[in-house]
């Protein structure tokens, strides 16, 4: 009922091999022949069965994208960008969402991507050695997003330096007690930002000659509610901070709300800076660090596709790309009064 390559061959009066060549745009096909094949294919509404092609060629024209979340801003942007780039290149996108810790261990255990992708993209996951091994054993090019590792393609921002920029900004505004709202670095679902942004925060304090006060660091779990709770704790301190650095905009939103609910003003009583520059942050008048998510995703996807297309999968070319971030100063971080 649905046309196969044989139907097209018969229709065009050529062999199936010629059909295959013509349709894939291979060289060494006479223009006239190619036209005839193309027309036959169109008339029969033919498309090649991807599975037969994959089985015969060994190529899957599919890339697996592994993410820890899909419904968070950063990852949604990544998915959108990668999907578009793959579609453009004629590749399928197989999406793998790890979900929770259990899903994560099952994933690396079973490796559902085995035998079904030409390459893999992993977004912002803190991977242990066993997980890197599992990835390597796929024997396919791997691209990392938001982290890097020797021997892997990657694109990321400098989270440490960027966080430091954020905190430096608060320091320059005259703040001496600066709170941190971060992610859980021990979480089995840990992703990369919490680690590095916290380091940047600590670096900045040290550089400014400020004491690191563990009481000023609270967990916000990268959620709005987490940000609120952490802020409440910070405000309850005997000597509360006059400024807060939240490792994500979401947590910063929670902070803004909690500060105002406490009857305090932003930035006069407490200044706030976030990280990401989500679209809502402008609305919230939130100072933040802007990161070029789409550029990161596009960079590593493009290089991954090139690597897949090349015959030498070990010649990575430009391996580790670090993209610049930008301090965006808005109303939430005005100078200290």
Minimum CB distance to DNA smaller for 52 or for 80: 52
How many CB atoms sit inside 10 A of residue 219's CB?
A: 20
Minimum CB distance to a copy of itself smaller for 151 or for 331: 331
Instruction: Measure the CA–CA gap between 197 and 183, rounded to whole angstroms.
Output: 9
Among DNA, a copy of itself, none, the one that 224 touches (CB under a kind-dependent 5 to 8 A) is: a copy of itself
For the bound state, the minimum distance from the C-beta of residue 64 to DNA, rounded and expressed in Å, comes to 19
Residues 6 or more apart whose Cβ sits within 8 Å of residue 228 = 254, 255, 257, 258
Instruction: Report the candidate in 85, 111, 115, 87 with the shortest Cα–Cα distance to residue 98.
Output: 111
Helices H, strands E: what count in the chain? 13, 12
Minimum CB distance to DNA smaller for 3 or for 327: 3
Minimum CB distance to a copy of itself smaller for 16 or for 208: 16
For the bound state, the minimum distance from the C-beta of residue 32 to DNA, rounded and expressed in Å, comes to 7
Among a copy of itself, DNA, none, the one that 24 touches (CB under a kind-dependent 5 to 8 A) is: DNA
Among a copy of itself, DNA, none, the one that 18 touches (CB under a kind-dependent 5 to 8 A) is: DNA
> Which residues would be at the binding site for a copy of itself (CB under 8 A)?
2, 47-52, 54-55, 60, 69-73, 76-77, 79-80, 83-84, 87, 92-97, 99, 103, 111-112, 114-116, 139, 223-225, 228, 253-254, 257, 279-280, 283
> Which residues would be at the binding site for DNA (CB under 7 A)?
4-6, 13-18, 20-21, 23-24, 27-30, 32-34, 46, 48-49, 52-53, 55-59
């Amino acid at each position: 009922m649905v046309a196969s390559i044989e139907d097209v061959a018969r229709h065009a009066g050529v062999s199936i091999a010629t059909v295959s060549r013509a349709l894939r745009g291979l060289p060494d096909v006479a223009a006239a022949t190619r036209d005839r094949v193309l027309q036959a294919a169109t008339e029969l509404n033919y498309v090649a069965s991807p599975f037969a092609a994959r089985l015969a060629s060994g190529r899957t024209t599919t890339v697996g994208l592994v993410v820890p979340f899909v419904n968070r801003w950063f990852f949604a942007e990544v998915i959108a960008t990668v999907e578009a780039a793959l579609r453009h290149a004629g590749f399928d996108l197989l999406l793998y969402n790890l979900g929770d810790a259990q899903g994560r261990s099952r994933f690396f255990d079973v490796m559902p991507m085995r035998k079904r992708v030409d390459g893999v993209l992993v977004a912002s996951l803190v991977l242990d050695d066993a997980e890197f091994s599992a990835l390597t054993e796929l024997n396919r090019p791997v691209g990392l997003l938001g982290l890097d590792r020797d021997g892997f393609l990657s694109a990321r921002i400098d989270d440490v330096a960027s966080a430091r920029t954020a905190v430096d900004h608060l320091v320059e505004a005259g703040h001496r007690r600066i709170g941190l709202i971060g992610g859980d670095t021990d979480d089995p679902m840990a992703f990369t930002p919490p680690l590095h942004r916290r380091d940047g925060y600590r670096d900045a304090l040290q550089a400014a000659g400020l004491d690191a006060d563990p009481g000023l660091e609270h967990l916000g779990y990268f959620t709005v509610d987490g940000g609120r709770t952490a802020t409440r704790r910070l405000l309850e301190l005997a000597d509360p901070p006059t400024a807060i650095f939240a490792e994500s905009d979401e947590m910063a939103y929670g902070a803004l709300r909690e500060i105002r609910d406490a009857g305090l003003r932003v930035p006069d009583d407490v200044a706030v800076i976030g990280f990401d520059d989500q679209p809502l942050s402008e609305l919230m008048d939130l100072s933040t660090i802007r990161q070029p998510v789409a550029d990161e995703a596009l960079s590593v996807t493009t290089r991954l596709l090139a690597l897949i297309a090349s015959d030498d999968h070990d010649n990575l070319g430009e391996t580790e790309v670090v993209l610049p971030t930008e301090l965006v100063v808005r109303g939430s971080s005005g100078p200290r009064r």
